[in-house]
Amino acid sequence: MLYLFLTNPVIRCMKKNKTRRSFIKNLTLGSSVMSSFPYLLSGAYNQKLTLDRSYSSETFLVNDRINLALIGCGIQGIYDTNAALKVAGVKLVAVCDLYTGRLDRAKELWGYDIFTSRDYRILLERMDIDAVIIATSDHWHKKITIEAMQLGKAVYCEKPMVQNFTEGHEIIKVYNKTGSICQIGSQGMSSLGNQKAKQLYEDGAIGEIIMLDMYNDRFSSEGAWQYAIPPDATPKTIDFDRFLGSAPKVPYDPKRFFRWRNYQDYGTGIAGDMFVHAFSSLNYILSSKGPKRALSTGGLRYWKDGRDVPDIALSFYDYPETKTHTAFNASLRVNFVAGSGAGGSFKIIGSEGAMEVNSNSCKLIRPIKGTIPGDYSMIAFTEETQKRIAENYNDKKIEKKVVSFNTGETLWEAPASYKGGHYDHFYNFFQAIRGKGKIIQDPTFGLRAAGAALLANESYYQAGSVNWNPETMMLL
């Protein structure tokens, strides 16, 4: 398992009355809680602390290594494999892709002795392969994941886990029946930033959650999925018919193969590619099962290159009250035409503070709450009335003292030597295969994240709000 260098806090459910007062009280309870918060009991602060993580230092013999295969040697498949191979005791033995140029690239990257094929089934049937990375287009995730689990392979399936809701339940059924190892690949899930945010939230650092505010702006053709198409792309070098699979039959089109994210037939658009990361982290941090309603809008404003998915998406979600969080709202926005410049943020906002979270850091912000009337509202009263109101507030010494406690910012950052959230997610995967830990993002978790994201598409194409049961993970 993974461990924080700082002492982990006692885990407990978030209660509705978790406020600034209980947060301050916790600061006096001992080191197990103190580690999650700034070591200050009063006044304003601004400080930077270090996150770190220790890993097991095992040496593996040849017979103890995990033999890995990659299915889908595209952009994400290469990044996944490079991250996986940094974990000790892992060897890549086979690669599958439908474009021969990618198979040639695999040999350049990882050695000319690896086995390559256009047929993933050959890899699944090999007895020397222990685990597979599935980094294909979204419309192949369910089929290959199920077949891999049925043949006894441990599976790392890229997000989103599925292209539609019903596919997720099929994967969960096979997962439970086979007892397989299956990790869904939202790579920031296992990061230091997420774990620190979870600790802070569970200890009441931001009070009751009010909303999530997430946005991602891009301003490049590559960022808008207009990926390069190689000059040797032909029907001979690409098995286009196999790529189509269960999707509607269309004539050979290299744009559909190399830019599949732009098409509903093969991908899940902005929601499945980007929103799903936000829901993975949010649900993990809050121990939440997801939202109950979604409303989306957006459009295809600029990248009119044949794609049939929007390049701007705005979605709004209602989360119900549960044992681990109050009812709150989530706002997610992605803009592929961001003339203001690229950027992004994932901010969890509470009644007493906020957290800005990413894989390598977590910033806790606790401002002074404006509870004492100022000139703006007092201007409507006579001088005498203003004086009486001010005296009344001055008598509330306890409330004033509480309001002024622990205000400021603390930034927890991973050191330059940190191996990263992507490494951590694969470390978690391989430790589970070795029986030394549990998967952090199993298929049930994966469907809760993918399902929430796919609600955005459902709402967008229906042009109305949609309802979702986060318990049963089904549309209402």
The upper half-sphere exposure of residue 206, i.e. CA atoms within 13 Å in the direction of its Cβ, equals: 30
Q: What is the pLDDT of residue 434?
A: 96
Does the pLDDT of residue 32 top 50, yes or no?
Answer: no
As a whole number, mean pLDDT of residues 91-112 equals 98
Instruction: Determine the 3-state secondary structure of 70 from DSSP.
Output: strand
Q: What is the pLDDT of residue 406?
A: 72
Alpha-carbon separation of residue 84 from 66, 309, 337, 475 (angstroms)? 11, 31, 33, 35
Q: What is the pLDDT of residue 31?
A: 29
264-268, 325-329, 382-386: the lowest-pLDDT one = 382-386
Q: 142 or 25: which carries more pLDDT confidence?
A: 142
Predicted confidence band of residue 7 (pLDDT cuts 50, 70, 90): very low
Sheet holding 209-217, edge to edge: 44-50, 407-413, 361-366, 354-358, 343-350, 209-217, 328-335, 312-319, 293-299, 466-469, 474-475
pLDDT tens readout for residues 405-459: 477 899 999 999 999 999 999 999 999 999 999 999 999 999 999 999 999 999 9
Does the pLDDT of residue 344 top 50, yes or no?
Answer: yes
What is this structure's pTM? Answer: 0.89
- On average, the pLDDT of the chain sits at 90
Helix 192-202 / helix 276-286 crossing angle, nearest 10 deg: 40
Which residue type is seen at 270? I
% of the chain residues with pLDDT over 90: 80
As a whole number, mean pLDDT of residues 48-69 equals 90
Predicted confidence band of residue 61 (pLDDT cuts 50, 70, 90): confident
Predicted confidence band of residue 59 (pLDDT cuts 50, 70, 90): confident
18-27, 289-298, 427-436: the lowest-pLDDT one = 18-27
pLDDT tens readout for residues 310-325: 999 999 999 999 999 9
Q: What is the pLDDT of residue 193?
A: 97
Does the pLDDT of residue 265 top 60, yes or no?
Answer: yes
Predicted confidence band of residue 397 (pLDDT cuts 50, 70, 90): low
Q: What is the pLDDT of residue 10?
A: 32
Does the pLDDT of residue 1 top 60, yes or no?
Answer: no
As a whole number, mean pLDDT of residues 182-196 equals 96
Q: What is the pLDDT of residue 395?
A: 63
CA 437 to chain centre: 20
Q: What is the pLDDT of residue 37?
A: 52
Alpha-carbon separation of residue 250 from 231, 232, 307 (angstroms)? 21, 20, 15
Q: What is the pLDDT of residue 396?
A: 60
Helix (H) or strand (E) holding 279: helix 276-286
As a whole number, mean pLDDT of residues 190-217 equals 96
Of residues 289, 297, 242, the one with CA closest to residue 271: 297
Of residues 239, 284, 285, the one with CA closest to residue 448: 284
